[in-house]
Structure 1
Amino acid sequence: MDQTTERMGCDLHSHTQASDGMNRPSENVQLAFERGLGALAITDHDTVAGVEEALQAGERLNMVVVPGVEISTMAGGTDIHVLGYYVDYRDPVFLERLAELRRTREQRNARIIDKLQELGIELTMEEVIKGLGRQLEPDESIGRPHIADALVLKGHALHLRDAFDRYLAQGAAAYVPQPRIHPKEACEWIREAGGVPVLAHPGLYGDDGLVREVIQAAAFKGIEVYHSDHEAPDELRYLAMAKEYGLIVTAGSDYHGERQGQVFHGDIGSRQVPMQVLEQLQQARAKS
């Protein structure tokens, strides 16, 4: 029997070294295979640089890999993340749009480093990149978790969460807001690249009124009901919201790998939906 028919679960949210994950894309796929999953989505922040390697690993293992992305946006003063599934990861217009988002992120990173230096912390972006322990590849995205790792390494924070709480989180000493597009624009980009837009982890925004506003303003096709940072009451609320707005129900671990002995946000496969959800996404894609 084909292994993909035996394996019934999908984890539709994972990150790799292409953004702020710790593993190579092929390593994520291997882990998903070992956990018995039937499908894994690669959804790095503002880049699709890890998709090709993941697809090749999926072919070797006879396992479904969904090409995806997670685009950083803002609405109502809150960071909102938009997942895109089955995007054409070679579309030149889409690639240039993502590149512009990464350039904006690089400018923000430079301002964070400046603020840290003003606080008396001797840290450079070269040191942050050196902390990766490897060469930075084209189209990879450097983010705050990498800066946090460098702060821990240099003894300015106890661990990743401490680095965010003291320096990098909103309201912290070295926080710098980043100009972002609206979720509606991200949904349009994803649809124009042949993909399906899904609202990521709504429970993290702390404002269901805003979640409803965003759903109504942007043409989402799905909502991530099951996420590593959602509790059971969150899942019930967003299941009801999915039914109300006719949205596809998705699930994702938001796996980033292991940092300083801790897995962020959840381990691969810790949140799953049935393989049939892939059919729903493909149908939504065909209708777009």
Structure 2
Amino acid sequence: MSNEVDLHTHSTASDGIYSPTELLQKAKGVGLHVLALTDHDSTNGLEEAASAAHALDIDFIPGIELNTDVGGGEVHVLGYFLEYMRPEFQAILKVLRDARVLRGQRMVELLNKEGVHISWERVREIAQGAVGRPHVAKALLEAGYVKSIPEAFDKYIGKGCPAYVPRYKLSPEDAVRLIASANGLPVIAHPVELPGLEELRNWLPGLVKAGLVGLETYYGPYTEQEEQQLRALADEYSLIPTGGTDFHGPGIHPTPLGGRYVPYEAVEQLKAAAAKRRSHTPPVFELPPPVEEK
């Protein structure tokens, strides 16, 4: 069964390897007809991606991925069909991106204290856009301290490691409301990576009340059983089952671009929900104060 849809990808506007244009060219090369760009905390690549998609005759969906914290773990929230140029929305994203920069700087400081000498300037050069841990990992690889990006996470910058730094703590409900404030469609990303499906079931009523519209059901390495369980949850809460590869580039995630089948029905449902949402005035969102890390 050939796949034409990938609704979860990243570019150099956050922590992907390829520029938005290069990403769209690769999407064309693998036969994709629909692609969403969902960079972390940034919409800076969307204009370039939309232009490239138009030239390549690819149906482009503007998106984003917001990282949030809950109970010591992480929940990622995707947003689709954003009215991303809203000034209030962009102002909040800037706060989140600035927090990522400070986090990156602190990681480099901790690495240097451990005798692992990479420079912040080099990390910024590698990143080009918003800074993330993969950029620090790539600097470690480049400097010869590790032999692979996964080793950098396991040895230095993963949770519990010497240079791990927590980030600005946004709750999943906050992320859902933030996306809704730009008339976007909030979707929980890769839910199997959460503490468990039963815990997800406990969270879903509150998230749906906050404005959640979808659940990433078709994702990268999910098994058929996991996919079926998530589809049942999506049906139970009347959520749109979406999917994608979480493609950042070779060697970062195991699933290649377009390598996970996503039914075109997901695109149709998202488009219908987006059209309905645009007929309403979006809610106002106020960013909560950052949590001081101990």
- The answer as to 2:206 corresponding to 1:217 is yes
Q: Does 1:196 align with 2:196?
A: no
What letter is aligned with 1:158?
Answer: K
Change (3 A) 1:119 1:147: same
Aligned residues: 273
Take 1:113 and 1:123, find their aligned partners in 2: how far apart are those partners?
7
Q: Which runs of 4+ in 1 moved over 6 A?
A: none
**Structure-2 separation of matches of 1:16 and 1:131:** 13
- TM (normalized to structure 2)? 0.88
Deviations for 1:49-99, whole angstroms, at most 9, x for unmatched residues?
A: 111111111111121010000011112221110000000121111111111
Q: Is the 8 A contact 1:256 1:265 kept in 2?
A: no
Amino acid in the other structure paired with 1:254? D
Aligned pairs for 1:98-113 within 5 A: 98-113=93-108
Query: Contact 1:10–1:39 at 8 Å: present in 2 too?
Result: yes
Q: Secondary structure at the match of 1:273?
A: coil
Would you say the 8 A contact 2:3–2:261 is kept in 1? no
Match of 2:249 in 1: 257
Partner Cα distance (2:228, 2:145) in 1: 40
What residue identity is the alignment partner of 1:187?
V
Q: Using the aligned pairs only, state the percent identity.
A: 38
SS of the equivalent of 1:256 reads coil
Which residue is equivalent to 2:228?
236
Deviation at 1:214, TM superposition (A): 2.9
Q: Displacement of 1:243 after TM fit? A: 1.2
The match for 2:29 is 34
Among 47, 50, 55, the residue aligned to 1:55: 50
Q: What are the equivalent positions in structure 2 for 1:56-75 lying under 5 Å apart?
A: 56-75=51-70
Q: Show the counterpart of 2:258.
A: 269
Equivalent residues of 1:38, 1:275 under 8 A apart:
no
Give the alignment of 1:87-126 within 5 angstroms. 87-126=82-121
Pick the aligned partner of 1:127 from 122, 126, 131. Answer: 122
Report the residue type matching 2:222 in the other structure.
H
For normalisation by structure 1, the TM-score amounts to 0.90
The code of the aligned residue for 2:47 comes to E
Aligned counterpart in structure 2 of residue 10 of structure 1, from 5, 11, 19: 5
Q: Distance in 1 between matches of 2:197 and 2:37?
A: 27
Contact kept in structure 2, 1:183 and 1:214, CA below 8 Å:
no
1:19 partner letter: S
RMSD: 1.6
